[in-house]
């Protein structure tokens, strides 16, 4: 009898499947479609356990759907542009393309070893010209639709290296990763995509995504950040201009005691009185470097200063001071707010600090006006101190105030979104060149479609200093204007890599098309993705951008659906044990720990604390997938990952449980091999043993099918397989056809989870065709019927024994079976049976006897 040797059989089957095209996408139009997609990886070098978990989950889903008769699209590719490649070029002199393609080769080899059923014919790499050609083409679609435009925006500027830095190249102290210089802000003309045009639809259509986790939808909704309110205008004393504010609480307008401008607001210098000039200038300089999050945090002291200017509250005619303060952001609303300290948390804090008046205009109860607030009252209530609006419930007052302001011409209703347009320009080399030429006569001219792609030149220098590598290449930059022919310059910015990943799922259905971005019929056929699987870190940007691209391309007539991802599964993290010094906060490597049962810090001697944390290099708790594959094989690794935790939950790595799954596969191996080697004449005896086994088989089919429907409870599915394997092991009918059915069913149910061992064993049973081309087993309802029950025999209420009897609820029959039983005979012999109590529901018969 042969031993289970995973490494050997896995390699063999991977090769055979590739040769036979077992994973090639079936396109039979008669079958329903299923598109199973994992978020494609950035080719950073090696696979980590997070990848393994992500891809295993999607692979099982893909395999199950194939067996259930679907044609399944299950592709893979590479999100291959980005900063690490360029950093490697700067730091180590390796060309970004070389670095990237070597990593792709390495990771692809590792993926292959996991036995993932990808159709590699559809592989895409976003850095390849035959992909980014279409990224450029799509950019031009946006441009033509008026959805791509240029505007000044701030970049991180390294004054020593004279270069623009990506956010990731600036450390938490605000210094450059290379030169260490304090990073400055600098304004540059950059490209934006107008995602704000789609804000409302992106918000509304979240309702269509019933297969998405609620929390992801909530994160998206918060990011879009819709606020319903009003613009109100406050005239400035002595100037012929007005300050427009955005407020969500027009009902509090009678409580305004000051107005605040964002320091950057263009009105700031105009309203500032000469005596305040110097103080205001100094204040503004002191704010540089503060982030928006710091500026608006509710728990931080607010900083502000009066400008000396005054405005008029149009509702009361009152004059109020104009301030500037850090908590008002220039980018949001109108960049100005009306200060209502009695009813807004930040205003309350600011007014208390600056000793500005606080005026209550909303009262919790009708009629009363609370005095001396200890904090802002932010709930709805009744309007007070509000002239003709007194007594109105504040929720209704909002509309009344808006209507009134509108009739007087100093305000109107307004919906505001927090979502900003998407800044896509990057002053870097390793990205998609923006296909635009700047002409002194024609302005920004799109590169004609037939001249795409605008290729990345290969022969470039990476110093990390000065202008981006593209901007330094004179002969690449200088071109003739495609429109008028005069000397012009290429755009040297490249695109944010989030653009590449905002449409890759549309390309897989027609990945090799070199005439068009895709054939709409093919993409419409496969899309939307039926099951998308990936990390929660992409809950906001990637998913929002992909939804945005889908809607724009729909409006361009290229596709006919509104949402790209029908169902979304965000898988939990893979965690492992860490050892940490509680005093220094340092993580300690296990190989530096002398006694793992009483771990101490080798340097300080402090006792270490242990806990499970996400695997990472810095915490020394990573486990390399290849190590596990080399020792146990891919099937065990997959089984462990699927068994250890439900897919959305965090998973704690545990060697003993890996070992446990390996033992389970070994048991399956022996069970099937023994059967394969001994199977001879078969006959059925219609015995109880056969019936019991059949019930176990069909219970397993039913339970596992249920587990895989909807919620993907892989962990309980694996438990059911273990039960079935035990039932087969214990079966008393090993030469019956029912046993054959059991062995084959176990292999079929296990096939999506452990594809190699099941294929090997399937072939050992003399099957010619791959197990991965078989149909998912269908359960037989009638096999589940329990046709025997265990009847409890009691004498005077005391249980004396049990007997197996044909299933029935017939009282007379049950009494008869009980009377005839050996147990009852023994106890009632020579006594008088005074009464027999039969309880069919409890499967119990009780004899009341005397004498
Ligand atoms: C007066 C007021 C009274 C406000 C009150 C709130 C409560 P969301 O929901 O986030 O849209 N605001 C407006 N523009 C701002 C800016 N550029 N920077 C900082 N704060 C700004 O919040 C809208 C509210 O945030 C607005 O309503 C405004 O304060 C403030 F009892 O106006 B409110
Ligand atoms: Zn021109």
Residue 823 pLDDT > 60: yes
pLDDT value at 61 more than 90 = yes
Nearest to 803, CA basis, from 843, 847, 764, 763: 843
Q: Which of 203, 243, 248 to mutate to test the pocket of ligand 1 (most atoms within 8 A of CB)?
A: 248
| Ligand 2 centroid, distance to 76 Cα (angstroms) | 41
pLDDT of residue 806: 84
Question: Is residue 525 domain-resident?
Answer: no
CA pair distance 719, 315, nearest whole angstrom: 70
Helix ranges (DSSP H) in 513-611 = 520-526, 541-555
| CB of 548 closer than 6 angstroms to any ligand 1 atom | no
Quote the CA–CA distance of 368 and 361 in Å, as a whole number: 11
Asked if residue 340 has its Cβ within 6 Å of ligand 1, the reply is yes
Domain's final residue, options 495, 515, 545: 495
Q: Tell whether ligand 1 has an atom less than 6 A from the beta carbon of residue 351.
A: no
Ligand at shortest distance from the CA of 335: 1
CB atoms within 10 A of CB 479: 17
- Does residue 328 line the site of ligand 1, with CB under 6 A? yes
* Cα 212 to ligand 2 centre (Å): 48
User: Which of 784, 809, 827 is the C-terminal boundary of a domain?
Assistant: 784
Instruction: Looking at the CA of 479, name the nearest ligand.
Output: 2
259 with 381, same domain: the answer is: yes
Separation of 139 CA from ligand 2 center, angstroms?
20
Note the pLDDT tens digit of each residue in 178-205: 889 998 888 899 999 999 999 999 999 9
CATH of the domain at 702: 1.10.730.10
The encoded tokens of residue 508 equal 């897989």
In a domain, 836, yes or no: yes
Q: Tell whether 240 is covered by a domain.
A: yes
4 lines ligand 1 (CB under 6 A): no
Q: Rg for the chain (alpha carbons), in Å?
A: 36
Which residue in 581, 548, 577, 580 sits closest to 562, CA to CA? 548
606-620 confidence digits (pLDDT tens):
999 999 999 998 899
Structure confidence at residue 288 (pLDDT): 74
Closest ligand by atom to 482 CA: 2
Is pLDDT at 809 greater than 90 in this prediction? no
**Ligand 1 center to residue 247 CA distance, Å?**
5
Taking the centre of ligand 2 as the mean of its atom positions, its distance from the CA of residue 442, in whole angstroms, is 4
773 and 811, same domain (yes or no): no
Atom nearest to 335 CA in ligand 1: 17
Nearest ligand by distance to the CA of 331? 1
The phi and psi torsions of 707 (rounded to 5 degrees) equal -60, -30
The confidence score (pLDDT) of residue 684 equals 75
Band of pLDDT at residue 293, cut at 50, 70 and 90 = low
CA distances from 202 to 526, 547, 781 (A): 22, 7, 45
Residue 686 confidence class, pLDDT cut points 50, 70, 90: confident
Q: For residue 262, which atom of ligand 1 is closest to its CA? A: 17
Lowest-confidence region among 337-346, 590-599, 718-727? 590-599
Scored b (16 or more CB within 10 A) or e, 204-231 reads ebbeebeebbeebbebbeebbeeeebbb
Q: What gap in Å lies between CA 533 and CA 565, rounded to an integer?
A: 10
Q: Are 588 and 579 in contact (CB under 8 A)?
A: yes
Candidates 319, 318, 323; CA nearest to 308 is 323
* Ligand 1 close to Cβ of residue 344 (< 6 A): yes
- Residue 127 domain-assigned? no
Q: Is the domain of 183 the same as that of 312?
A: no
**Residue 231 Cβ contacting ligand 1 at under 6 Å:** no
CB-ligand 1 contact for 249 (6 Å cutoff)? yes
Select from 767, 784, 801 the last residue of a domain.
784
Ligand nearest to the CA of 442: 2
Determine the distance separating the centroid of ligand 2 and the alpha carbon of 50, expressed in angstroms: 50
Token pair recorded at residue 803: 């007997």
Task: Return the SS3 of 777.
Answer: coil
- pLDDT classification of 460: cutoffs 50, 70, 90: very high
709, 842: one domain: no
Q: Does residue 252 have its Cβ closer than 6 Å to ligand 1?
A: yes
Which residues, other chains included, contact 803 with Cβ-Cβ below 8 Å and sequence gap of 6+?
A: 790, 791, 793, 817, 818, 821, 822, 823
C-alpha 537/C-alpha 652 separation (Å) is 19
Most confidently predicted of 553-567, 599-613, 788-802: 553-567
Q: What's the confidence (pLDDT) of residue 390?
A: 94
- Helices 6-20 & 96-113, crossing angle to 10 degrees? 110
CB 359 within 8 A of CB 339: no
Confirm whether residue 841 is marked as ligand binding.
no
User: d(Cα 128, Cα 138) in Å, to the nearest integer?
Assistant: 16
Q: Are residues 410 and 437 in the same domain?
A: no
Q: Is any ligand 1 atom within 6 A of the Cβ of residue 335?
A: yes
Phi, psi of 574 (to 5 degrees): -100, 120
Query: Ligand 2 center to residue 459 CA distance, Å?
Result: 28
* Residue 63 CB–ligand 1 contact under 6 Å: no
Ligand nearest to the CA of 483: 2
**Å from CA of 495 to ligand 2 middle:** 23
**Most informative mutation of 199, 247, 260 for ligand 1 (most atoms within 8 A of CB):** 247
Distance 377 CA to ligand 1 centre (A): 15
| 267 and 163 co-located in one domain | no
From its phi and psi, is residue 574 left (phi > 0), alpha (psi between -120 and 50) or beta? beta
Residue 741's contacts (CB-CB under 8 Å, 6 or more residues apart) are: 694, 697
Q: Is pLDDT of 20 > 80?
A: yes
Distance 146 CA to ligand 2 centre (A): 19
- Beta carbon of 321 within 6 Å of any ligand 1 atom: no
Closest atom of ligand 1 to 296 CA is 19
Name the residue of 199, 249, 379 to mutate for ligand 1: max ligand atoms within 8 A of Cβ.
249
Dist. CA 445 → ligand 2 center (Å): 7
Does residue 1 carry a pLDDT above 60?
no
Q: Do residues 773 and 794 share a domain?
A: no
Which CB contacts under 8 angstroms, 24+ apart, belong to 458-464?
A: 458/95, 458/97, 460/429, 462/86, 462/89, 462/90, 462/93, 462/96, 462/429, 463/90, 464/90, 464/161, 464/163, 464/178
**788-795 vs 798-806, strand pairing mode:** antiparallel
ipTM: 0.94
Q: What is the reported pLDDT for 292? A: 66
131 assigned to some structural domain = no
Residue 507 and residue 516 in contact, taking contact as beta carbons nearer than 8 Å: no
> Sheet holding 443-446: strands in order across?
443-446, 436-439, 487-490, 478-480
pLDDT at 422 over 90: yes
CB 247 near ligand 1, within 6 Å: yes
- Per the CB < 8 A criterion, the answer to whether 336 and 241 are in contact is no
State the DSSP H helix or E strand holding residue 477, giving kind and residue range, or none if neither. Answer: helix 474-477
Residue-range definition of the domain harbouring residue 702: 675-784
119, 137, 550 from 115: Cα distances, Å: 12, 35, 31
Judge if 173 and 244 occupy the same domain.
Answer: no
Interatomic CA distance for residues 264 and 266, integer angstroms: 6
**Lookup: tokens for 559:** 């596709």
The DSSP result for 213-232, as a single string, is -HHHHHHHHHHH-EEEEEEE
Whether 461 is in a domain gets the answer: yes
Q: How far apart are CA 733 and CA 833, in angstroms?
A: 41
Helix (H, G, I), strand (E, B) or coil at 384: coil
- The helix (run of H) or strand (run of E) holding residue 390 is none
**Residue 2 CA: distances (Å) to CA of 506, 669, 746, 828:** 46, 9, 20, 58
Cα gap 550→506, rounded to integer Å: 9
H or E segment to which residue 155 belongs: strand 148-158
Q: What is the dihedral of CA 314, 317, 319, 324, to 10 degrees?
A: -10
Which numbered atom of ligand 1 lies nearest the CA of 256? 1
For residues 843 and 789, the answer to whether their CB atoms sit within 8 Å is yes
pTM: 0.88
Q: Do the domain assignments include residue 593?
A: no
Q: What is the mean pLDDT of the chain?
A: 94
Q: What is the pLDDT of residues 217-259, one digit of tens each?
A: 999 999 999 999 999 999 999 999 999 999 999 999 999 999 9
Q: Are residues 354 and 409 in the same domain?
A: yes
**Which residue minimizes the CA distance to atom 11 of ligand 1?**
227
Q: Is 89 in the pocket of ligand 1 (CB under 6 A)?
A: no
Cα(191) to centroid(ligand 1), Å = 29
Ligand nearest to the CA of 325: 1
Indicate left, alpha or beta for 740 from its phi (over 0: left) and psi (-120 to 50: alpha).
alpha
CB-ligand 1 contact for 128 (6 Å cutoff): no
Which ligand has the minimum distance to the alpha carbon of residue 334?
Answer: 1
Strands (E), 343-390: 362-363, 382-383
CATH number of the domain within which 255 lies: 3.90.740.10
Please, what is the Cα angle at 796 between 792 and 801, to 5 degrees? 30
Which helix (H) or strand (E) segment is 457 a member of? none
Residues 340-349 have pLDDT tens digits of: 999 999 999 9
Assess whether the C-beta atom of 705 lies below 6 angstroms from ligand 1.
no
- Beta 71-73 vs 798-806: how paired, if at all? unpaired
Question: Using CA atoms, how far apart are residues 762 and 771, in angstroms rounded to an integer?
Answer: 6
CA–centroid distance, residue 479 to ligand 2 (Å): 11
The reported pLDDT for the residue numbered 162 is 87
Q: What is the pLDDT of residue 301?
A: 82
pLDDT at residue 173 in the model: 82
**Residue nearest ligand 1's atom 5 by CA:** 344
- Residue 362 Cα: closest atom of ligand 1: 31
Q: Number of folded domains in the chain? A: 4
Atom of ligand 1 nearest to the CA of 339: 1
Q: Of ligand 1's atoms, which has the minimum distance to the CA of residue 376?
A: 31
Name which residue sits closest to atom 1 of ligand 1, judged by CA: 247
- Alpha-carbon distance 333 to 311, whole Å? 19
> Ligand 1 centroid to 388 CA: how many Å?
24
Percentage of the chain lying above the pLDDT 70 cut: 98
| Residue nearest atom 33 of ligand 1, based on CA coordinates | 247
Angle at 657 between CA 652 and CA 663, to 5 degrees: 160
Q: How far is the CA of 150 from the centre of ligand 2 (A)?
A: 18
Ligand 1, pocket-test mutation among 245, 332, 346, most atoms within 8 A of CB: 332
Domain of 821, CATH number, reads 3.10.20.590
Give residue-wise pLDDT tens across range 34-45: 999 999 999 999
Ligand nearest to the CA of 436: 2
If asked whether residues 246 and 363 sit together in one domain, one would say yes
Do 298 and 383 fall within a single domain? Answer: yes
CB-based contact 273:307 (threshold 8 Å) = yes
CA of 483 to the centre of ligand 2 (A): 5
Q: Is 359 in the pocket of ligand 1 (CB under 6 A)?
A: no
Ligand 1 atom nearest the C-alpha of 416 is 11
CA angle 464, 465, 470 (to 5 degrees): 80
Based on DSSP, count helices (H) and strands (E) in the chain, helices before strands.
Answer: 26, 32
Structure tokens at 499: 């653009």
* Cα–Cα distance, 275 to 257 (Å, whole number): 22
Q: Are residues 804 and 774 in the same domain?
A: no
pLDDT in tens, 121-160: 999 999 999 999 999 999 999 999 999 999 998 888 999 9
- 395 assigned to some structural domain: yes
């Amino acid at each position: 009898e042969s031993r289970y040797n995973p490494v050997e059989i896995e390699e063999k089957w991977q090769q055979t499947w590739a040769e036979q095209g077992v994973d090639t996408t079936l396109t039979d139009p008669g079958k329903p479609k299923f598109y199973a997609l994992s978020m494609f990886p950035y080719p950073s070098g090696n696979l980590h356990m997070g990848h393994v978990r992500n891809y295993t989950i999607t692979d099982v889903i893909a395999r199950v759907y194939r067996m259930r008769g679907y044609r399944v699209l299950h592709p893979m590719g590479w999100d291959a542009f980005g900063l690490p490649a360029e950093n490697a070029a700067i730091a180590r002199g390796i060309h970004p393309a070389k670095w990237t393609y070597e990593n792709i080769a390495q990771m692809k080899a590792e993926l292959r070893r996991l036995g993932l059923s990808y159709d590699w014919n559809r592989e895409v790499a976003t850095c390849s010209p035959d992909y980014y050609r279409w990224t450029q083409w799509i950019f031009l679609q946006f441009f033509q639709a008026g959805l791509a435009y240029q505007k000044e925006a701030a970049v991180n500027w390294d004054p020593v290296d004279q270069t623009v830095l990506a956010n990731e190249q600036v450390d938490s102290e605000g210094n450059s990763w290379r030169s260490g210089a304090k990073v400055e802000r600098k304004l540059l003309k950059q490209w934006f995509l107008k995602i704000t045009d789609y804000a409302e639809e992106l918000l509304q259509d979240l309702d269509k995504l019933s297969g998405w986790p609620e929390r992801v939808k909530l994160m998206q909704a918060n990011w879009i950040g819709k606020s319903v309110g009003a613009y109100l205008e406050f005239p400035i004393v002595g100037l012929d201009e007005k300050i427009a504010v955005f407020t969500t609480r027009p009902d509090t307008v009678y409580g305004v005691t000051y107005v605040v401008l964002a320091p950057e607001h263009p009105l700031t210098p105009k309203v500032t009185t000469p005596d305040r000039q110097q103080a205001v200038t100094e204040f503004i300089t002191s704010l540089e470097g503060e982030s928006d999050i710091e500026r608006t945090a509710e728990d931080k002291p607010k900083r502000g200063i009066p400008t000396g200017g005054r405005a008029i509250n149009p509702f009361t005619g009152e004059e109020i001071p104009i301030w500037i303060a850090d908590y008002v952001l220039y980018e949001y609303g109108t960049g100005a707010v009306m200060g209502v300290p009695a009813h807004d948390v930040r205003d309350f804090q600011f007014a208390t600090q600056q000793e500005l008046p606080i005026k209550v205009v909303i009262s919790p109860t009708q009629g009363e006006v609370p005095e001396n607030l200890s904090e802002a009252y932010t709930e709805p209530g009744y309007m007070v101190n509000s002239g003709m609006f007194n007594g109105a419930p504040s929720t209704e007052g909002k509309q009344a105030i808006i209507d009134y302001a509108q009739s007087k011409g100093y305000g109107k209703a307004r919906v505001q979104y927090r979502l900003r347009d998407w800044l896509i320009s990057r002053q870097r080399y390793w990205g998609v060149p923006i296909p635009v030429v700047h002409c002194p006569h024609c302005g920004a001219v799109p590169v004609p479609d037939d001249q795409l792609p605008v290729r990345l030149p290969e022969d470039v220098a990476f110093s990390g200093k000065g202008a981006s590598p593209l901007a330094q290449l004179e002969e690449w930059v200088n071109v003739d204007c495609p429109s008028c022919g005069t000397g012009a310059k290429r755009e040297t910015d490249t695109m944010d890599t989030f653009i590449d990943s905002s449409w890759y799922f549309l390309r897989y259905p027609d990945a090799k098309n070199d005439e068009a971005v895709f054939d709409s019929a093919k993409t419409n056929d496969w899309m939307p993705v039926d099951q998308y699987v990936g990390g929660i870190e992409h809950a906001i940007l990637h998913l929002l951008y992909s939804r945005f691209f889908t809607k724009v391309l729909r409006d361009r007539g290229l596709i006919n659906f509104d949402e790209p991802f029908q169902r979304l599964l965000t898988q939990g993290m893979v965690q492992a044990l860490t050892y940490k010094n509680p005093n220094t906060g340092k993580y300690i490597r296990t190989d530096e720990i002398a006694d793992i049962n009483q771990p101490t810090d080798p340097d300080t001697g402090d006792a270490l604390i242990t806990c499970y944390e996400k695997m990472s290099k810095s915490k020394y708790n990573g486990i390399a997938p290849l190590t596990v594959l080399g020792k146990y094989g891919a099937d065990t690794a997959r089984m462990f990952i699927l068994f250890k935790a439900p897919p959305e939950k965090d998973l704690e790595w545990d060697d003993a449980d890996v070992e446990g799954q390996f033992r389970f596969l070994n048991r399956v191996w022996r069970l099937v091999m023994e059967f394969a080697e001994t199977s001879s004449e078969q006959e059925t005896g219609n015995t109880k043993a056969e019936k019991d086994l059949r019930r176990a088989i069909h219970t397993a089919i039913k339970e596992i099918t249920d587990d895989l429907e909807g919620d993907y409870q892989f962990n309980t599915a694996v438990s059911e397989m273990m039960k079935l394997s035990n039932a087969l092991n214990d079966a008393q009918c090993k030469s019956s056809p029912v046993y054959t059915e059991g062995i084959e069913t176990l292999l079929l149910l296990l096939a999506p989870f452990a594809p190699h061992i099941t294929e090997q064993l399937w072939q050992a049973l003399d099957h010619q065709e791959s197990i991965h081309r078989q149909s998912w087993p269908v359960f037989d309802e009638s096999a589940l019927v329990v046709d025997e029950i265990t009847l409890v025999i009691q004498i005077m209420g005391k249980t004396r024994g049990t007997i197996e009897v044909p299933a029935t609820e017939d009282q007379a029959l049950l009494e008869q079976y009980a009377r005839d039983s050996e147990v009852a005979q023994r106890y009632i012999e020579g006594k008088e049976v005074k009464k027999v109590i039969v309880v069919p529901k409890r499967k119990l018969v009780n004899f009341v006897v005397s004498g």
